Structure 1
Amino acid sequence: MEPEGLPKKNIILAAALAFGFYFLWSALVPKFFPAQARPSQAPQAAQTPAAAQTQATPRIDNISFVAWGEAGKINLAHGAAIAELRLPKIGETAGETVLAPGSAFLETSVPAAPDSSWTLQPDPETLRLELPVPGGLLIKEYEFTTGQPGFGMMRLRFQGDKKTAVQVNVGLSAGFEHARNQQQQLFAGYLGKKSLVVNYPKKKERTVAAALEGELPLDALGLAGRYHLALIRKLGTWGRTVSAVVDKPNGHWQTVLTLAGGQTVEIPFYVGVKTEHAMSALDLKNMLYGGLLGPLKKIIRETLAVFYRITGNYGFAIILLTIAFQVLLLPFTVKNLKFSSKMKELAPKIQQLQQKFKNDPQKMNAETMQLYRSHGTNPLGGCLVMLLQMPIFIALYGALNDSYELYGADFILWIKNLAAHDPTYILPILMGLAMFVQSKRTQAVSTDPSQKIFLYVMPVMFTFMFLRFPSGLVLYWLTSNVISLGLTVALPKILDKIS
């Protein structure tokens, strides 16, 4: 229940909290969980290095190759690039196509050999290709790590005179299978644990290239989507030069290296889902749990996994997770209810002050604040539980939004994908109704019509804001509101009996 005092300030405060929540969400979520460009919106470089401008694309016919077992498969296309990649089923992770047809991951070209073509060489152990280049032969081999789908090695070897060198461009274009509704970013990791994530639609290419030219040698470079990652590792100092190739409709990133005659470069790569196991193996767990709220996000995902093992359903797991958080917040909820009870006691006195000083708002506000202080309460006390839930809410958004396990995970009836918004909008509407009932109960004592406006404004505003949120997040907020409503009914009776 809200007091009758300070009506104008309460209106301003409520409006500030409501819009503050919205703008805080808009400002913080991109920072903690960056929004990036879709693959089809790759940048157009303001200036392309000469090597990229003269790049030629050697072409071969499509080649299919079984990798990581019978269900795993890759297709190669021009530039001996991985044009399509399908992973086998491992454990509970279903086999699926990660790189969509038309990708060009690890596309390899030599500017000095514009008319040469890759040829496939028979080799029972590896996928081996050759490209004639000036002064020798460029050999490219793919090896696939047994028992670890997505992990592999690309080996480049220049057979030629030691006094001869050849420039080789390695491209990183990757179209993830679920990319229609997800986002993508360029990721660069440096030796020395420094990392850089570039949201490339927001930066000019020359700025990106300058940012990548750091003091530390580049260790990892790749493209990260919402659920997937296509990454090359252990680049060494030769991998510093990164540029955007613009002679294709969508563009792509590439790294440039120079091989001397007889030199071999081994480049480990990973193409797959951003699971905790894979990120640990790549020493990139900060991609899952980076940022200020990373530790909280990790706790949420691990707790959710425990509840999933108990229930076998991620929807029920989210409900149990909500109950667990409500139990943790119970002391603050009790404090909030005591605050509401105190405000109910003070309401008649506040009304008297309003009548007494109705022609002197400044005096009325001063006397009302003095009344609060004399009774040991604070008009902002009712916001405590909401403020405490904000970090949980934002971290939960990141945990649900990035969790591949939730992609396609159904709950009940019409909810078929907890990682996507509810296409029927039933869930956010139910959430808004629950929020309305809870707000109506807490404001039932108020007689100020200006305050009662927010009884209707807040639920409507939150409902519209949640329409495009993941269903799992809306389910959390709905469950939280229902539990809070139950507590506001039951706890006062319990506290009265105790007192």
Structure 2
Amino acid sequence: MDIKRTILWAIFFVSAVMLFDNWQRDHGRPSMFFPNPTHTQTATGPASGTPGLDAAATTSAPAPVAGTAPAQSQPQAQLIHFSTDVYDGEIDTRGGTLEKLVLTKNANAGGAPFNVTLFDHTANHTYLARTGLIGGDFPNHNDVFTPVPGPLALSPDQKTLTVSLESPVKGGVKLVKTYTFTRDSYVIGVDTKIENVGNVKVKPSLYMEIVRDSQAVETPRFSHTFLGPAVYTNEHHFQKITFSDIDKNKLDIPSSANSGWIAMIQHYFATAWIPQQDAAREIYVEKIDPTLYRIGVRQPLATIDPGQSTNVSARLFAGPEEERALEGVAPGLELVKDYGYVTIIAKPLFWLLEKIHGFVGNWGWAIVLLTVLIKAVFFPLSAASYKSMARMKEITPRMQALRERFKSDPQKMNAALMELYKTEKVNPFGGCLPIVIQIPVFISLYWVLLSSVEMRGAPWILWIHDLSQADPFYILPVLMAVSMFLQTRLNPTPPDPVQAKMMMFMPIAFSVMFFFFPAGLVLYYVVNNVLSITQQYYITRVMGAKKKAA
């Protein structure tokens, strides 16, 4: 029995099954291998009195609090348009909510702008960041605020832009919400001033939440990237929450903390509320509509005497998952760029890729050079593997003869093969072990290239204008198929005709998937295959020359 070929077939089978599983998850179907775990702890929802949503929430403005009628004296809600160097957005005066937020800054030097809409509120898509007060009949995201006069565009000579809105007085409380946008920053300061203009003491709580539907965006075909809420605390660290877990009320997150943040993650981009550190808060996650989910924090405030006020400062991140920038915003926020189980390997690889990019100034060439560097590091292992394959190829005719001779007696055939391996000093595992050792690195680099927003809009050469999109002319996938075919020809021919045909079919099967992969990923595999072919051909020639000389 050819153990090496069996292992290779097992690896191929597992890879095919995992790709199919990713396709299943990408189309909203349950995973075959990663069922939702059953947890014992259920996160607490928002406290009684938290304003909710009803079916009307999917229209152009948030719905009123369930069970209450809007005040007749409330003015008509309107949208306030604002713009900065990185944002173009709208604030709804109903609740002073960020209704729309479009990222307008260039993704890369010389590249196209992001032009990605994060917050939005249409008939087909809802994604909002909002705040309000609970604990009484206080202003919340359903009340119509009044804009404070002031500029709504960041001028070239300004570093910051502030937009303020005042709520109507409710329960003796007036709320003033101020957004502060900073030049070249995706962090928005959100200052909330709570004024007690009544005659009695009040003790409200401030909630900050992100509301979103489960509509996927910008996910490459045949690839699965996480979409959903996430929580980070100093005690429990980073935790992702799937929409299906929320549907089944299977949550295992801290219900309270005094640190961290809550977020909503999608491919390449994220939004996160970052309250003040060392401020006690309750965390809640829930489904509020057949298609809407929310994650938020409820921050209790100190008692406010009549005529007094209190200020609560928080930050709202809304932007690309640029790892280095995220590290400087809040502890652990860089984890929204999720590498999964290979984080320990992927983070150093991305660091190295960044350093190479800083030297060459092009992400495509950085991928090429990083692949060359990885191949150089693994050269001794690869050389051992190719030498073993070359020896196996030499004795393949003798192996076929033994199989033919003892085909009716598998036990004798295996014994004869083992004796042949021993006589020729060939290790059947010699070609597999080096490959197995390299697999975690190659998988990690796959996730680095798939998760890095730096690839979005990044050109390489000629026809490749965006490494995050599929090759428009399918040149790289065709080169990928050709390189796989050449590799197959260099490997020992399987003695079984069916296996031989399957090995010839593999390049076609894989190339079909690579037609839809981002160009950056395909470029990595093409370069890796070309280097492998060169190395294998060289080693085979050297061994052949040595054998001829001997």
| Residue from 110, 119, 127 that aligns with 2:163 | 127
- Which piece of structure 1 moves more, 169-178 or 249-258? 169-178
Counterpart-to-counterpart distance in 2, 1:83 and 1:496: 69
Q: Are 1:256 and 2:298 an aligned pair? A: yes
Q: Are 1:179 and 2:217 an aligned pair? A: yes
Counterpart-to-counterpart distance in 2, 1:429 and 1:49: 57
Counterpart-to-counterpart distance in 2, 1:120 and 1:485: 66
Counterpart-to-counterpart distance in 2, 1:119 and 1:205: 40
The question of whether the paired residues in 2 share the 8 Å contact of 1:172 and 1:253 is answered with yes
Q: Are 1:143 and 2:180 an aligned pair? A: yes
C-alpha RMSD of the superposition:
3.8
| Residue from 91, 94, 98 that aligns with 1:76 | 91
Long gaps (5+) in structure 2: 29-42, 54-63, 71-75, 122-126, 152-160, 220-224
| Residue from 244, 259, 275 that aligns with 2:322 | 275
Aligned-pair CA distance for 1:225 = 1.9
Counterpart-to-counterpart distance in 2, 1:457 and 1:99: 42
2:295 partner SS: strand
Q: Using CA pairs under 8 Å that are at least 6 residues apart, name the structure with larger relative contact order, 1 or 2.
A: 1
Provide closer, same or farther for how the CA distance between residues 328 and 366 of structure 1 changes in structure 2, counting only shifts above 3 A: same
Match of 1:42 in 2: none
Q: What letter corresponds to residue 179 of structure 1 in structure 2?
A: V
Match of 1:400 in 2: 449
Q: What letter corresponds to residue 273 of structure 2 in structure 1?
A: I
The question of whether the paired residues in 1 share the 8 Å contact of 2:339 and 2:447 is answered with no
The question of whether the paired residues in 2 share the 8 Å contact of 1:427 and 1:475 is answered with yes
The question of whether the paired residues in 2 share the 8 Å contact of 1:186 and 1:198 is answered with yes
Counterpart-to-counterpart distance in 2, 1:50 and 1:310: 56
The question of whether the paired residues in 1 share the 8 Å contact of 2:262 and 2:295 is answered with no
- Which piece of structure 1 moves more, 469-478 or 199-208? 199-208
Q: What letter corresponds to residue 60 of structure 1 in structure 2?
A: A
Counterpart-to-counterpart distance in 2, 1:177 and 1:405: 23
Match of 2:80 in 1: 63
Match of 1:229 in 2: 270
| Residue from 352, 366, 373 that aligns with 1:303 | 352
- Which piece of structure 1 moves more, 97-106 or 429-438? 97-106
- Deviation string 1:21-47 (CA, Å, 9 cap, x unpaired) is 2335677x89xxx9798xxxxxxx9x9
Provide closer, same or farther for how the CA distance between residues 178 and 150 of structure 1 changes in structure 2, counting only shifts above 3 A: farther
Match of 1:319 in 2: 368
Provide closer, same or farther for how the CA distance between residues 440 and 88 of structure 1 changes in structure 2, counting only shifts above 3 A: closer
Aligned-pair CA distance for 1:134 = 0.8
Counterpart-to-counterpart distance in 1, 2:290 and 2:20: 34
Counterpart-to-counterpart distance in 2, 1:53 and 1:207: 23
Counterpart-to-counterpart distance in 2, 1:177 and 1:25: 22
Aligned-pair CA distance for 1:472 = 1.2
The question of whether the paired residues in 2 share the 8 Å contact of 1:65 and 1:74 is answered with yes
1:381 partner SS: coil
What is the percent sequence identity of the aligned residues? 24
Aligned-pair CA distance for 1:191 = 2.8
Counterpart-to-counterpart distance in 2, 1:276 and 1:149: 14
Match of 1:198 in 2: 241
Counterpart-to-counterpart distance in 2, 1:95 and 1:249: 27
Q: What letter corresponds to residue 128 of structure 2 in structure 1?
A: A
Counterpart-to-counterpart distance in 2, 1:176 and 1:314: 31
Q: What letter corresponds to residue 497 of structure 2 in structure 1?
A: P
The question of whether the paired residues in 1 share the 8 Å contact of 2:257 and 2:281 is answered with no
The question of whether the paired residues in 2 share the 8 Å contact of 1:98 and 1:177 is answered with no
Counterpart-to-counterpart distance in 1, 2:248 and 2:193: 30
Counterpart-to-counterpart distance in 2, 1:60 and 1:168: 22
Provide closer, same or farther for how the CA distance between residues 19 and 423 of structure 1 changes in structure 2, counting only shifts above 3 A: farther
- Deviation string 1:156-195 (CA, Å, 9 cap, x unpaired) is 2321266323354433136999935475321111133622
Q: What letter corresponds to residue 173 of structure 1 in structure 2?
A: V
Aligned-pair CA distance for 1:202 = 4.2
- Which piece of structure 1 moves more, 253-262 or 450-459? 253-262
Aligned-pair CA distance for 1:108 = 3.4
The question of whether the paired residues in 2 share the 8 Å contact of 1:212 and 1:240 is answered with no
Provide closer, same or farther for how the CA distance between residues 171 and 291 of structure 1 changes in structure 2, counting only shifts above 3 A: closer
Provide closer, same or farther for how the CA distance between residues 406 and 448 of structure 1 changes in structure 2, counting only shifts above 3 A: same
Provide closer, same or farther for how the CA distance between residues 248 and 453 of structure 1 changes in structure 2, counting only shifts above 3 A: closer
Counterpart-to-counterpart distance in 1, 2:216 and 2:342: 26
Match of 1:99 in 2: 118
Match of 1:490 in 2: 538
Q: What letter corresponds to residue 227 of structure 2 in structure 1?
A: Q
Counterpart-to-counterpart distance in 2, 1:65 and 1:451: 63
Counterpart-to-counterpart distance in 2, 1:352 and 1:248: 66
The question of whether the paired residues in 2 share the 8 Å contact of 1:244 and 1:254 is answered with no
Provide closer, same or farther for how the CA distance between residues 484 and 374 of structure 1 changes in structure 2, counting only shifts above 3 A: same
Q: What letter corresponds to residue 371 of structure 1 in structure 2?
A: L
2:204 partner SS: strand
Match of 2:137 in 1: 112
Counterpart-to-counterpart distance in 1, 2:495 and 2:216: 52
Counterpart-to-counterpart distance in 2, 1:418 and 1:179: 17
Q: What letter corresponds to residue 325 of structure 1 in structure 2?
A: I
Q: What letter corresponds to residue 49 of structure 2 in structure 1?
A: A
Provide closer, same or farther for how the CA distance between residues 401 and 178 of structure 1 changes in structure 2, counting only shifts above 3 A: same
Provide closer, same or farther for how the CA distance between residues 147 and 121 of structure 1 changes in structure 2, counting only shifts above 3 A: closer
Counterpart-to-counterpart distance in 1, 2:442 and 2:20: 13
TM-score calculated relative to the size of structure 1: 0.82
2:250 partner SS: helix
Q: What letter corresponds to residue 240 of structure 2 in structure 1?
A: V
Match of 1:159 in 2: 195
| Residue from 378, 383, 386 that aligns with 2:435 | 386
1:285 partner SS: helix
Counterpart-to-counterpart distance in 1, 2:339 and 2:359: 28
- Deviation string 1:426-465 (CA, Å, 9 cap, x unpaired) is 4223212211122023235x55423312332322332234
Provide closer, same or farther for how the CA distance between residues 345 and 434 of structure 1 changes in structure 2, counting only shifts above 3 A: closer
2:98 partner SS: strand
- Deviation string 1:226-265 (CA, Å, 9 cap, x unpaired) is 2222111135565324143625854433333444423432
Q: What letter corresponds to residue 241 of structure 2 in structure 1?
A: V
The question of whether the paired residues in 2 share the 8 Å contact of 1:62 and 1:75 is answered with yes
Counterpart-to-counterpart distance in 2, 1:54 and 1:453: 60
Q: What letter corresponds to residue 137 of structure 2 in structure 1?
A: A
1:138 partner SS: strand
Long gaps (5+) in structure 1: 1-5, 38-44
Counterpart-to-counterpart distance in 1, 2:505 and 2:521: 21
Provide closer, same or farther for how the CA distance between residues 378 and 26 of structure 1 changes in structure 2, counting only shifts above 3 A: farther
Match of 2:222 in 1: none
Alignment of 1:211-250 (within 5 A): 211-214=252-255, 216-217=257-258, 219-234=260-275, 238-244=280-286, 246-247=288-289, 250=292
Provide closer, same or farther for how the CA distance between residues 83 and 180 of structure 1 changes in structure 2, counting only shifts above 3 A: farther
Q: What letter corresponds to residue 62 of structure 1 in structure 2?
A: L
Q: What letter corresponds to residue 95 of structure 2 in structure 1?
A: G
